[in-house]
Structure 1
Amino acid sequence: MENELFQKIPSLQVIICRQCKHGVRPAEVERHLKRKHQFKHQSAHQLAQAVQQWEDIEQDSAAIQIPPVVDNPLPILPCEPSGLLCQRQDPPCHYVASSMDTMRKHWRQVHQWSQQTRRGRVGQRERTQGAAELRRSFTTVAWQQIFPSGPGSHYIHIRFPEGHPPPPLPPADQAQRAVDAIITAWDQARTAQEQQAVIQADRITDANPWLRRTGWARYLEGVHPQDLLRLVEAPPRSPGSH
């Protein structure tokens, strides 16, 4: 189940929540599942323990290192095409902003530079020079963000070729079948574990409401049909079960 909720990026040793489309630190998985996705304590705890056994993942939050730039877009994360990359230093500064106001603040605080150097009326020549200096001070780039806040939440410059086409979306009916498969697998696992009666369609609880309500279909793009088949297999019977 944890593989359907999170995807790991071994090159950066981080995991991404498929639904929220941002990184989750391993130490925060249990809290994330309970607060953001309304998982019960036992289920969230079990999934967090499973994630802690994953290889190629940095379990120490303080040791996670997020680079300022990567060559290709990272999976799951949205890729924004209109970021601003600071060019005020040589070699250029790696700071990426999502708006000109934020970039101007960065220039003032980090580089002690402002396009308008003095108050009052500015002549045509000075305006032209200021505009030219402004154009040299940034360039437009694509960016992604892994963590929404805290260490490692900076915007990452993505250096993919200009005009790189986005991956095609799967057909809506195929994605919806994947959602139904996950829900079915979850129902079966919970029933076998807790020996509960079969849950009626109009009284589904636990993980299923958020799966349907949030439209998981769009988070399962690229899932191979063979991978979906194993989700609907009946879980192994425990000793003594009937």
Structure 2
Amino acid sequence: VTNRSMDPYDYFTRIPVFGLIVCNECKYCVWPKDVAGHLSGPHHKLKRAQSQEIASAVHRWRGLTRSYEELQVPYTVDKPINALPLYEDGFMCIKGDCRKIFRGRPVIIEHWRTEHKWTVTERQRKGRAGRPGKTEKDIVQRRFEAATEKVLYQRFFPSRYSSQYFRKAEQKFQEIEKRIRTRIEAGEKDEANPWLERTGWAKYL
């Protein structure tokens, strides 16, 4: 906010159903007790008196969730929360009852190694690994796909408490494909290709 407005709604958007507030510029939630420090920090650089005045106004808002002990992070949401970024590179672990979401392939592979004591590169049972025409890479990819589900996801906080990801229910892959095609047709093919390869969407095009 360049004009140094003193209206707290110029800095924060409320999520009433969860009692949270999202910084309009940073795109993540801020606890009410941290508002003054957030606004006077290196990103916003408001003067101390200004940040404290805005924080006082925020503290008067009713229905706020004021600590992580009061917050129940959802497992899924039917619709994305507009004030938060919606990420498209999520993998949800579906081994056993695990439904944790991870951003990117390397992170979920490390999760399997440390929490499930399992890896996609384990040797297959005799009779499966030796199928004609199936390379080791093919087997690893099949094992990876069998243990994951691609998801769209969001989160409230960037780190520490209540920072786990939650998914958007009822994925619509066609909408994602349409956005990708639009980018390519608009002349962004060179920029889109690395993203397609990284997220695994290239094979759907």
TM-score by length of 2: 0.70
Of 55, 62, 87, which residue of structure 2 is paired with 1:55? 62
- The aligned amino acid for 1:44 is S
- The aligned amino acid for 1:140 is K
CA deviations on 1:92-137 (whole Å, 9 max, x unpaired) are x22111111100011111212111225xxx9543845544332210
Of 147, 153, 157, which residue of structure 1 is paired with 2:167? 157
Q: Where has structure 1 moved over 4 Å in runs of 4 or more? A: none
Partner SS for 1:105: helix
Q: Give, in angstroms, the shift of residue 50 of structure 1.
A: 0.9
CA deviations on 1:172-230 (whole Å, 9 max, x unpaired) are xxxxxxxxxxxxxxxxxxxxxxxxxxxxxxxxxxxxxxxxxxxxxxxxxxxxxxxxxxx
Where does 1:106-121 land on structure 2 (aligned, <5 Å)? 106-118=111-123
Partner SS for 1:72: coil
- The aligned amino acid for 1:31 is G
Q: Go from structure 1 to structure 2 and tell me whether the alpha carbon gap of 1:123 and 1:62 turns closer, same or farther (over 3 Å shift).
A: closer
- Find the aligned partners of 2:91 and 2:68 in 1 and give their Cα distance: 28
- Find the aligned partners of 2:67 and 2:154 in 1 and give their Cα distance: 22
Where does 1:9-28 land on structure 2 (aligned, <5 Å)? 9-28=15-34
Q: Give, in angstroms, the shift of residue 144 of structure 1.
A: 1.1
Task: Tell me how large the CA RMSD over aligned residues is.
Answer: 2.2
Of 87, 92, 100, which residue of structure 2 is paired with 1:80? 87
Contact 1:68 1:156 in 2 (8 A): yes
- Find the aligned partners of 1:51 and 1:31 in 2 and give their Cα distance: 13
- Find the aligned partners of 1:138 and 1:73 in 2 and give their Cα distance: 21
1:99 is the counterpart of 2:104: yes
Partner SS for 1:37: coil
- The aligned amino acid for 1:6 is F
- Find the aligned partners of 1:49 and 1:77 in 2 and give their Cα distance: 24
Please identify the structure whose Cα radius of gyration is greater.
Answer: 1
- Find the aligned partners of 1:130 and 1:81 in 2 and give their Cα distance: 22
- The aligned amino acid for 2:48 is H
- Find the aligned partners of 1:160 and 1:57 in 2 and give their Cα distance: 29
1:132 is the counterpart of 2:142: yes
- The aligned amino acid for 1:112 is K
Q: Give, in angstroms, the shift of residue 147 of structure 1.
A: 0.5
Partner SS for 2:92: strand
Q: Go from structure 1 to structure 2 and tell me whether the alpha carbon gap of 1:161 and 1:105 turns closer, same or farther (over 3 Å shift).
A: closer
Aligned residue pairs: how many?
160
- Find the aligned partners of 1:112 and 1:80 in 2 and give their Cα distance: 27
TM-score by length of 1: 0.60
Aligned to 1:29: 35
CA deviations on 1:14-50 (whole Å, 9 max, x unpaired) are 1100111111111100000000311111111111111
Q: Give, in angstroms, the shift of residue 81 of structure 1.
A: 1.5
Contact 2:94 2:147 in 1 (8 A): yes
- Find the aligned partners of 1:72 and 1:160 in 2 and give their Cα distance: 9
Identity across aligned pairs (percent)? 27
Contact 2:93 2:147 in 1 (8 A): yes
Contact 1:79 1:144 in 2 (8 A): yes
Q: Which runs of 5+ in 1 are unaligned?
A: 166-242
